[in-house]
Amino acid sequence: MPDSMLYHVISECSVKHMVSIPHIWECENYSGRWQSNVEVFQYELWQSDEYRPEWRWYVSDVVGIESDFMGNKIQHSKNLIRLESGWVLFEPQTDVISKDYKSFTPFLGEA
C-alpha cells in the first residue's frame, strides 16, 4: 500500500467504534473485520476508477504475543500492513499504527 494512502484507509475502514463483547467480539474480530473493510475499500476504489493499483494490498490479521510494561504476556490479534516503506502493525481497536515488534511478536508461521 502506498504510504500516502494509509491514513485515508484507516479513516474509511475503522472499526474502533465497535464495542468489545467478551467471548463474542474480541481482538481477532476487530482485526478480521478491518482486513475485510480494507479489501472492500480497495475494490470500491478500483470500481470508481479513483485508484487502480497493479496488485492487492497486503493487509492481514495476525495473532501474536503482546507484552505490557509489567512484562505480562497475552495472546492478541492486530493487523500487519505492507507499506511501500516497510511493515507496520495496526491496532484496529484504537486505530494506532506502530513498528513495536518488541511488545508485540506476531506468529508468522514456522521457520
Q: In angstroms, what CA-CA distances link 57 with 3, 23, 109? A: 11, 30, 20
Which runs of E-coded beta strand occur in 1-111? 59-67, 73-83, 86-91, 96-98, 104-106
Instruction: Check: CB of residue 75 under 8 Å from CB of residue 63.
Output: yes
Q: Under CATH, what is the fold of the domain 3-95?
A: Beta Polymerase; domain 2 (3.30.460)
pLDDT, residue 109, reads 57
> Is a pLDDT exceeding 90 seen at residue 13?
yes
Crossing angle of helices 27-47 and 6-13, in 10° steps, is: 110
Q: What is the pTM of this model?
A: 0.89
- pLDDT tens track for 58-92: 999 999 999 888 888 989 999 999 999 999 999 99
The mean of the pLDDT values for the chain is 92
Task: Report the pLDDT averaged over residues 5-24.
Answer: 97
Question: How many Cβ atoms are within 10 Å of 81's Cβ, its own excluded?
Answer: 21
Write down the domain spans for the chain. Answer: 3-95
pLDDT, residue 100, reads 85
